[in-house]
Structure 1
Amino acid sequence: MAVIALYYVLKALSKFFCLLPEKAAYIIGDAIGSFTWLLVPQKRKKMALNNARHGLNITNAEALTIVKKSWTRFGPMIVEVMRFPIMCNNMNKYIHIVGRENLDAAVKLGRGGVIAAAHSDNWELLGGVLAQNGYKLVGVAQEQSNRGADRFINEYRAMIGMYVMYKYDVRSMFKMIADGWLIGLIMDQDAAEDGIVMPFLGRDASCAHGAATIARRNNAPIIPIFITKGPGRTHNIIIDKAVFVGKTRDKHGDIRKATAILTKKIEEHIKKYPSEWFWLHDRWKSVERHRATKTYT
């Protein structure tokens, strides 16, 4: 019952934010971000500060500014998701696409593709904008523990044009790439024992290799795409040139090399837009916790 109730609460909040003038909605969003920052546990804030300080080689004061902005941006981000029923009518009003020719070149190969993205700025907008601009896109999602929240977010992703599947449905991913679809993967979180350990922002981290693994099997291009804050309440989508996975006898080496290239691109993006990345995720925890007892690939 509580699961169903949450879904309808979120729908009601969405209707509320859609009825508000845009300026008023974002004022509330900014307030939500600032208020919830006060509720973040000190232990997590300390972890995020250490990550930013070491990863960016900056002072504690500089790290605090970046980490706080990294969190408070979630207020406006939530408002944008809640306003999808309005925004879906004209997503390009809010987005400027840079490097579209790189995505077009990859699509013209006719082999589908993998989009490698990160938890930067409002990544929920990314797939919808691409879908509404004519690209066949599948958003690969993490199933939420609360079914009401899961139903809501996937319904709203579909509303802005995305086809959504859960990340454990790998067989369907291979099939859809073969049919010419683009598979969108967020690949900047700790991959735990399933990842490949390599340097990331100055320390070893477990990096997701799903993009390279899928692309190698399907001979498909990987297109790094990031979203970043633009003027006012707009955003920029930055599309990089495609990365191709080698297909030698050393399968593991091919996947590792491509994953290293993608990890480096994510790292470079974070350094350029540090306050837009999610520092409160403990990106290095599994390597630090298990290095002495676990074997990573």
Structure 2
Amino acid sequence: MADPKLPPQEPFSRRAGHFLTNALIVGIIKVGLLMPFRARLGFVGWVMQNIIGPVAGYRDRALQNVAMIWPELSETRRNEIVAGCLNNVGRTFIENYSTKAFPARMARNTPQGPGFAALEEAAQKGQAVILVTGHFGNYEATRACLVARGYDIGGLYRDMKNPYFNAHYVKTMEAFGGPVFPQGRRGTAGFVRHLKNGGQLVLLFDQHVFGAPKLDFLGKPANTALSAAELALRYDALLIPFYGIRQADGVSFDAVLEAPIPHSDAITMTQALNDSLAARVKAHPEQWFWVHTRWRPEEG
């Protein structure tokens, strides 16, 4: 693989750090992919939970987030949630690099929930659909399940800061089927064009966005992008919350599409998305990515 182009101002030390970090990640991926599917998920989940998570600071950040949201929980329970979170992050990571085995497994799943019937009806009449989820369970599981049923589901992604890692990370998203578009003017243009043509698109909405309105999420104000709701209103698209919920065996999933969010205004609709995700997090706290900096100090 050719080295990606780096900005000329990129310091050598940072470039070297990116290169070495990516080499470590690629090594873990290659070792994992040599294993049977179930074993590889257990292996990478363990590595994230016990090595990468603590060393990279993800464990400490996740513990801080859980303590802020649920201060009444015991230290033992907080540690259980964070251990499960890190394990799920690792499993999700290697699942998404299992570009043949994971989609094949998800192809055997039957989508659940009222949103699936709404998606089918919209597809039949050429109405656009925006499928919205968070970093919960495995957000690619349901997309893979739907792509296997013939849906051309596109996605919008944010480039990773490490360009070496980003080069192969994007390829994993493309391997699941459906067009993927980078954030930015060119990517957004393709994303909107797909929507205008009555396509289906996936958006993840649960990361901090500077300047976005502060909406309630798990009882705390969190800057939340309104873009999914705004696009749904602008293009008369259904707005359907969906989730890939990991099951107790750590390998299988429920692919759930909830009822579409009624059209009203962007803030009301986005708050409904926050409430939907919050309910899932409360039901399965280990499955949300607590490692993100979702709440910023300036948010109170």
TM-score by length of 1: 0.83
Instruction: Work out whether residues 225 and 238 of structure 1, in 8 Å CA contact, stay in contact via their aligned partners in 2.
Output: yes
State the AA in 2 paired with 1:87.
F
- How many angstroms apart in 2 are the aligned matches of 1:128 and 1:236? 12
Residue 244 of structure 1: which of 256, 262, 266 is its match? 262
- Distance in 1, matches of 2:181 and 2:121, equals 25
User: 1:101 deviation in Å?
Assistant: 1.9
How far has the Cα of 1:45 moved from its partner? 4.5
CA offset digits 1:8-28 (Å, max 9, x no partner):
886675554333223432342
The answer to whether the Cα contact below 8 Å between 1:136 and 1:182 also exists between their aligned partners in 2 is yes
Report the CA distance between 1:198 and its aligned residue. Answer: 1.9
Partner of 1:176: 194
Aligned AA (1:24): A
| CA distance in structure 1 between the partners assigned to 2:191 and 2:33 by the alignment | 34
- Verify the 8 A CA contact 1:114 1:183 in the aligned structure 2: yes
Post-superposition Cα deviations, 1:41-83, rounded to whole Å, max 9, x if no partner, equal 37524422323424xx533332221122111222222221232
Instruction: Count residues in correspondence.
Output: 278
Rounded to whole Å, the distance in 2 between the matches of 1:175 and 1:155 is 21
The one-letter code of the counterpart of 1:64 is N
Instruction: Look up the match of 1:48.
Output: 65
Residue segments in structure 2 that go unaligned for 5+ positions in a row: 6-18
8 Å Cα contact 1:119/1:188 also seen in 2: yes
**What is the rounded CA distance, in whole Å, between the counterparts of 2:209 and 2:295 in structure 1?**
9
The 3-state SS of whatever aligns with 2:260 is coil
What is the Cα deviation at residue 203 of structure 1? 1.4
Matched, 1:143 2:159: yes
SS where residue 190 of structure 1 aligns?
coil
Identity of aligned residues (%): 19
Instruction: Confirm or deny that 1:257 pairs with 2:268.
Output: yes
Do residues 226 (structure 1) and 235 (structure 2) align? no
Structure 1 distance, partners of 2:262, 2:168, is 35
Q: Aligned-pair distance for 1:192?
A: 2.2
> Which letter does structure 2 place at the counterpart of 1:268?
A
Task: State yes or no: 1:155 paired with 2:171.
Answer: yes
- 2:298 corresponds to which of 267, 280, 289: 289
* C-alpha distance in structure 2 between counterparts of 1:82 and 1:203, whole Å: 34
Distance across 1 between alignment mates of 2:181 and 2:146: 17
Residue identity matched to 2:54? L
Q: Is the 8 A contact 2:119 2:129 kept in 1?
A: no
8 Å Cα contact 1:111-1:219 kept in structure 2? yes
Which of 172, 180, 196 is the equivalent residue of 2:213? 196
Query: SS at 2:111's partner residue?
Result: strand
Return the match for 1:87 from 97, 102, 105.
102
The TM-score normalised by the length of structure 2 is: 0.82
Choose which of 196, 209, 217 in structure 1 pairs with 2:226: 209
Give 1:96 shift: 4.4
Deviations 1:163-189 (A, max 9, x none): 110133333322211101112100111
Contact 1:47 1:282 in 2 (8 A): no
